[in-house]
Structure 1
Amino acid sequence: MKHMSDEEWTLYVNDQLDDKTREQYEAHLFSCDQCLSVYLEVVEAQEQQLPAMTNEEVFTDTIMMKIKQQNIPEKNPSVSKFYQKPIFHYVLAAAMTFILMSTGVFSHLMNVVSEFESNKKQDSSVVEGLMDHTVSFIDKVQKESEKEAKK
């Protein structure tokens, strides 16, 4: 793995590299901790070379005024699409319910549910079957012991 030097990272931080090389450097940063630490040192060094901000509040206010002055079109809620209105959703739900009822989907669904419940009632569980076998075994043992006692 080739590691980049301080000078190469300085070029990267100052945005003096072509796009392809920048992408290679960024990919390398994700996989190399050593180069990441060198990159962070270069960024800190470059930060110290920037001029100090004298009045931060004025700077913030100036930026906010510029943002407000930009003509950003706002969404006009009155000009929305017909399918975005709640009445469209209610009509669509009612139409789907009517179609499903008229085709018999709900009645078929009820038949499937009742059939499932009847099958469930007929099938005994594993525990019930085990208990039935145990009880019958105990009854057999008791009958045999009574026969032997009478002899």
Structure 2
Amino acid sequence: MKHYDYIEWLLYKNKMLTKEKLDEMEQHLFNCDTCMEIFLTLIDEEEVRSAGKFVTNNFTSNVIEKMPKLKIVKHKKKQKKKIFNYQFGYYVAVASVTIILTFGGFYTDLVDIVPKLSASIKVPNKSTNIIANFSDSIVDSTSSFLFSIENIDRNKRRKNIER
């Protein structure tokens, strides 16, 4: 949907467009809330006052009187009853399957089989964490480097003390 900008709506309001364009924009205005908001910002106080001269005080009551009487439609209880019947039917079906499985010994066999299955499953070795191994190797290398520097310093001190 193509939206019109503020300037286009200003031209529309002042009727400075072709008849076809005015009709097109009017139809768009009925369907687009965004453009309706833009158009409504163009209406100023003077226009509201001048429109008040044409609208009578009993305008609202006249419009309501001319509207046809609307019937209030009550929701049918049958629809709710149908939904209840469907839900009850599903409940009965699930309960029936559960009872059949219980009497057939499915759950008892399941309790016996699960420990056997869990014992037979082999857990694969965890994959090594490359980043953790890399950081460990850096720490080890740094520690050994510092340790070697300390040993060199100790060896020099010993040689100096022995002399």
Same fold (TM over 0.5): no
TM, length-normalised to structure 2: 0.39
TM-score by length of 1: 0.41
Structure number with bigger Rg: 2
Higher relative contact order (CA 8 A, sep 6+): 1
